[in-house]
């Protein structure tokens, strides 16, 4: 894409927006960077970028190209823009190496980081970026053999030519319906990761997911199924703790699978990552050596404190009902559950039904607290607290030795916090502030 002397409007100045503004400037574009937040809330922009801050966005029709940040909804620009290109699209055009793109509802960040680690164990220069908190454009020009990108439904809404060599779809449960409005629209956004693949590319799809057929039907590349609880007739799965790969009529290949994180969701991430590495053509026998040493990411079923025989587990990244349900199902110990937040238009009934069978008590926070309280009526006792700190103190008072206090909100954090990371940090700090609380010596309880 030739951007020299093009007039570019960047909408939203978070990490990806600032990265896109800088990159477009370096390509010779005339860049206007817009954010409706006041200037004192925005990090400095590079010289040469024209700021448009603290006021409504300018008219997209006045620009040759609009580069929206993922958080800016398409209705804010689509009807007026001459051309739209998100930062993932820009990176896809600029990167000179193959791309492995990972999407799905839950497990994206963990799987993305794990794929990068496995590729490095196989001797390849690989780095992860995208929705993991590192802008995709930051990988352009770096000495790499492969780029591993986490891509969200928001990012995929604005792609037109993005073509990953390997595309991974982990799982689909309803999410972000406040943005996409229907599950079908959400799925359609996810399907765009497959739209530009060609016959020699790979679509790595979850054979156990109810949406498998919907993605397999639109795949233009070669479909590689994976199954974390069994062995598909074709694809990648597990057999007696061994990773097995079956392709066409070739003999099955077996690999060591020393994966130490508990939970079916963790196992699914690891099998999906292994399938992606195999599809890329890396040496899987070497790549699986990264599995036992892989450290879980923060705020994903992370054990953050122990006090009086009670474990405090931070799964703040469980920002939708499906993720929280997995967290509840992944524990075999009695649970005091901290949940709530902004529901994003999602139905919490199934999550509450799962919770009724698995928890001893619930401590509810945020906008969704009344909805969850009604859904849990007649089941385990519930309390509503005004803050995460009050919720932790209440949960600690309810817990008995051997219990787990689990933060798995099932909702967005944006009603009370800047992001899920702040929610998780405040949960951890409140747990550690309890009398006699100590940070656990083992790194974490697992990851999603």
Evaluate the CA torsion angle 200, 204, 210, 211 in order and state its sign.
negative
For residue 374, what is the enclosing H or E element? Answer: helix 369-375
3-state secondary structure of 33: strand
Active-site entry in 106, 171, 176, 320: 176
- Are the C-beta atoms of 411 and 341 separated by less than 8 Å? yes
Token pair of 360 as six digits: 């001893």
Active-site entry in 106, 131, 266, 269: 131
Evaluate the CA torsion angle 60, 65, 70, 74 in order and state its sign.
positive
Q: Round to whole Å and give the CA distance between 146 and 126.
A: 5
Token pair of 123 as six digits: 């001797």
Token pair of 11 as six digits: 């909408």
Q: Which residues contact 69 (CB under 8 A, 6 or more apart)?
A: 10, 11, 12, 13, 14, 16, 17, 20, 87
Known catalytic membership, residue 176? yes
264-280 and 108-121 helices cross at what angle (nearest 10)? 50
420-433 and 388-398 helices cross at what angle (nearest 10)? 50
What count of other Cβ atoms lies within 10 Å of the Cβ of residue 444? 19
For residue 177, what is the enclosing H or E element? Answer: helix 177-180
For residue 92, what is the enclosing H or E element? Answer: helix 87-94
Q: What angle do CA 276, 279, 280 make, to 5 degrees?
A: 90
3-state secondary structure of 251: coil
- Are the C-beta atoms of 141 and 231 separated by less than 8 Å? no
Active-site entry in 106, 108, 171, 320: 108
For residue 421, what is the enclosing H or E element? Answer: helix 420-433
Looking at residue 281, the DSSP 8-state letter turns out to be T
Q: Which residues of 156-193 are buried (b: 16+ CB within 10 A; e: fewer)?
A: bbbbeebbbbbbbbbbbbbbbbebbeeeeebbbbbbbb
Rg from Cα positions in the chain = 22
Q: Round to whole Å and give the CA distance between 124 and 128.
A: 13
- Are the C-beta atoms of 52 and 32 separated by less than 8 Å? yes
Mind telling me the catalytic residues?
A: 108, 131, 176
């Amino acid at each position: 894409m030739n951007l020299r002397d093009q007039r570019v409007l960047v909408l939203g100045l978070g990490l990806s927006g600032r990265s896109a503004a800088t990159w477009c400037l370096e390509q010779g574009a005339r860049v206007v960077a817009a954010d409706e937040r006041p200037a004192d809330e925005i990090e400095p922009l590079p010289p040469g970028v024209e700021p448009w801050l603290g006021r409504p966005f300018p008219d997209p029709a006045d620009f040759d190209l609009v580069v929206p940040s993922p958080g800016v909804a398409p209705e804010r620009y689509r009807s007026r823009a001459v051309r739209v290109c998100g930062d993932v699209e820009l990176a896809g055009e600029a990167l000179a190496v193959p791309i492995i793109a990972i999407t799905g509802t839950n497990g994206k960040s963990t799987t993305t980081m794990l794929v990068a680690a496995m590729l490095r164990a196989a001797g390849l220069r690989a780095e992860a970026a995208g929705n993991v908190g590192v802008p995709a454009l930051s990988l352009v020009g770096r000495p790499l053999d492969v780029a591993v990108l986490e891509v969200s439904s928001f990012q995929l809404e604005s792609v037109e030519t993005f073509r990953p060599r390997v595309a991974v779809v982990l799982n689909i449960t309803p999410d972000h319906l406040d943005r996409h409005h229907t599950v079908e629209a959400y799925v359609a956004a996810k399907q765009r990761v497959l739209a530009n693949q060609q016959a020699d590319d790979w679509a790595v799809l979850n054979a156990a997911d109810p949406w498998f057929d919907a993605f397999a039907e639109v795949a233009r590349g070669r479909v590689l199924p994976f199954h974390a609880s069994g062995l598909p007739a074709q694809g990648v799965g597990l057999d007696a703790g061994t990773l097995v790969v079956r392709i066409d009529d070739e003999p099955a290949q077996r690999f060591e699978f020393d994966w130490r994180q508990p939970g079916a969701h963790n196992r699914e991430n690891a099998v999906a990552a292994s399938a992606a590495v195999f599809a890329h053509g890396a040496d899987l026998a070497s790549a699986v050596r990264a599995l036992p040493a892989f450290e879980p990411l923060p705020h994903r079923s992370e054990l953050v404190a122990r006090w009086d025989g009670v474990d405090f587990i931070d799964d703040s990244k469980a920002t939708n009902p499906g993720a929280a349900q997995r967290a509840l199902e992944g524990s075999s110990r009695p649970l005091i559950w901290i949940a709530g937040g902004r529901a994003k238009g999602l139905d919490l009934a199934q999550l509450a039904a799962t919770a009724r069978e698995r928890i001893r008590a619930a401590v509810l926070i945020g906008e969704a607290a009344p909805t969850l309280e009604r859904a849990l009526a007649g089941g385990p006792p519930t309390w509503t607290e005004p803050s995460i700190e009050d919720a932790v103190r209440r949960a600690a008072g309810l817990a008995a030795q051997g219990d787990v206090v689990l933060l798995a909100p099932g909702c967005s954090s944006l009603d009370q916090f800047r992001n899920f990371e702040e929610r998780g940090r405040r949960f951890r700090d409140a747990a550690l502030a309890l009398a006699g609380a100590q940070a656990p010596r083992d790194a974490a309880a697992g990851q999603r």
